Structure 1
Amino acid sequence: MQRRVLIVVFPGFQLLDMAGPADVFGTAALIAPGGGYRVEVAAPRAGAVAAHNGVAVTATALTEVEGPIDTLLVAGGFSVPEHLADKELIGAIAGLAARARRVASVCNGAFLLAEAGLLDHRRATTHWLSAADLKSRYARVEVDADPLYIEDGNVWTSAGVLSGVDLALALVARDHGHALARDVARGLVVYLHRPGGQSQFSTPMRALTPRSEPLRELQGYIDANPGADLSVPALAGRVGMSERHFSRVFTEQTGLSPGRYVERSRAETARRLLEVTGLPLDSVARESGLGTPETLYRVFRRHWRISPGDHRRRFQTKER
């Protein structure tokens, strides 16, 4: 029996949010015709729907979708914010979700699920750039910005763009076993399980800029001198404060304790060195102020859920 997958799109959607999962399900159907999937696309209006990049797909009107649905999957895209006020679209998603065995979203399609009330009191993820906004807008949603996808009950959400492929492979594995999901992944030349979370793709997460000029200058000093003595006593001395007062003011104005800020700054230095140089790991650890390869590994795993070596293999572009 084929499982019916309905993918919801709208003007300005992200094409990969739709095409990635559609190809996963379509490939599964080719490999296992008797137990595969039938993919359909629906939108607020029937006919051609243009993605953000200008490519158009043909969709059925949401109001014309009849019968039960196995998987309702909502795409994301740059235009999602302007569609959050579309009561017809949000109402249609809520109505279709009630007829679906499970519901899923790709990227910031999670906002549409949240607006429809489908993520209330559930863990969910979205693109790392949008996670803070999702958390701010929808207080009832427990947002986790790192996983590539999250399953909470019958609702699945995935992170940015191509993580829709990771999500779809997980759904295939759940429906038909890992052997079929593995064969689909091999056919599409992708990982069945990508190591790490989406934080490995994110840009540096800066702390707040302090209001105090001395602390702003100190922040710049920390970032420019990762190998210096950046202990609390040394930093407090540079700005002429007691250690206790310095720690309190720095944390209040940056949102991070001095120790946390220093570790993050050194971790970012290490990440850049891994990406743009061929330095061995002990040199990266020393130049970034982390000291030893063991500390470098531990900090990298804590911040980005992957090892320094794995990060270098994925992102290295040598400058020197």
Structure 2
Amino acid sequence: MKPIDIWLLVYPGFVLLDATGPAQVFSTANDEARDAGLPEPYRIRMIAPGGGLVASTAGVSVMTEPLPRSGRSLAGSTLVVAGGRGLERGDSAALDPATLRWVQRAALGGSGGGGVRRCCAVCTGAFVLAQAGLLDGRSAVTHWMDAARLQAQYPDVQVLDDAIYVKDGPFYTSAGIAAGMDLALSLVEEDQGRGAALDTAKRLVVFFKRPGGQRQFSSELLAQADPQGLHGQLTDWLRPRLKRQIDVEQMAAAFALSVRTLHRRLRQEAAISPAQLLLRLRMEAACGLLERPGMSVKRAASQSGFGSEYNLRRAFAAQLGVVPSDYQARFG
């Protein structure tokens, strides 16, 4: 079979692991195939506007090829856009209009057709796809620190702030930095099957399917809130009351607001509902409790406001994709 071209798009100020992590996954998949006497499934190409040496935020530069022309050279291939410095602020070289036009043509095929088969972004690379209009009406994810900003800047994108990676049609996005390797492994599984992806993960000494979402690695996800805003004030009000039965009416009354106004202002500030904020705070509390020595799941459920082990298990399965005992074994 003809190898699949993997185009890794970088630019000055890109995050090194955003590009080299996926590159190593595809390279290791090639090693596995070669050892099995099979053709290498991937041809890995590092590209950048203009080509040449491109410096990362780590101070390491990589040699790149110029952006390929849209058309036959891109047909059936995979584009991976690395994240980098300044994308969330709008002052990155990756947001240059000419680069954005190239990404659009590569993803959609342009007038001559022949676009990539899969268009992917790692970490804040999602801002490039969003700015190019490729994520409108689609689900996406980025680093947990930038999820709220992505949602605020691009309201037509459904931002899932806890996912490790998200696939929506031909567009793929992943969470922060190392999650690009999780995304790349999922692409290997699509192309080569579960066995090949599992063998690649084993050789890399990484999870084939990482347990839980990215929120488990960000215990202070909510600390980014403005402490003087409603989000920060409500967070401070809720934290000492998590063990109580609290409803939205009580939250609104505590700030002399109507329920409708409370919902509207929280959506504007943090793209979250009052009930979602309460659930996240209880999850944050439960995770912290389960990380303590000697803490039982039953006590953690009670002290975090879930009330019962059953409720805690349901919340962990829905929010993190693991049961509390597994989380405790890994992080306790």
Match in the other structure for 2:46 = 41
Aligned length: 308
Shift of 1:112: 0.8
> Following the alignment from structure 2 to structure 1, what is the Cα–Cα distance between the partners of residues 170 and 63?
28
Report the secondary structure of 1:38's partner residue. strand
5 Å-filtered alignment, 1:1-320, equals 1-33=2-34, 34-62=39-67, 68-69=73-74, 70-80=77-87, 81-83=90-92, 85-97=95-107, 98=109, 99-202=115-218, 203-205=220-222, 220=236, 222-224=238-240, 226-227=242-243, 229-231=244-246, 263-316=279-332
Shift of 1:304: 2.9
The 10-residue stretch of structure 1 (23-32 or 74-83) with the greater mean CA deviation from structure 2:
74-83
The unaligned stretches of length 5 or more in structure 1 are none
RMSD: 3.4
Offset from partner CA, 1:250-298 (integer Å, 9 cap, x none): 6677668877655544332222111243312222223334333223222
Q: Is the 8 A contact 1:3 1:35 kept in 2?
A: no
Q: Is the 8 A contact 1:147 1:197 kept in 2?
A: yes
Q: Which amino acid aligns with 2:81?
A: V
Q: Which amino acid aligns with 1:72?
A: L
Bigger Rg over Cα? 1
> Following the alignment from structure 1 to structure 2, what is the Cα–Cα distance between the partners of residues 138 and 258?
22
Match in the other structure for 2:112 = none
Offset from partner CA, 1:217-240 (integer Å, 9 cap, x none): x8646423544x45569x69x969
Q: Is the 8 A contact 1:222 1:230 kept in 2?
A: no
Report the secondary structure of 2:212's partner residue. coil
TM-score by length of 2: 0.79
Shift of 1:129: 2.1
Task: Check 1:137–1:291 CA distance in 2 against 1; reply closer, same or farther (3 A cut).
Answer: closer
Offset from partner CA, 1:139-189 (integer Å, 9 cap, x none): 333332232222222222222211111111111111111111111011111
> Following the alignment from structure 2 to structure 1, what is the Cα–Cα distance between the partners of residues 295 and 330?
16
Where does structure 1 differ by over 4 angstroms across 4 or more consecutive aligned residues? 63-67, 206-212, 218-222, 229-233, 238-241, 245-264
The unaligned stretches of length 5 or more in structure 2 are 110-114
Task: Check 1:162–1:85 CA distance in 2 against 1; reply closer, same or farther (3 A cut).
Answer: closer
Q: Which amino acid aligns with 1:160?
A: G
Report the secondary structure of 1:100's partner residue. coil
Q: Is the 8 A contact 1:149 1:167 kept in 2?
A: yes
Task: Check 1:30–1:66 CA distance in 2 against 1; reply closer, same or farther (3 A cut).
Answer: farther
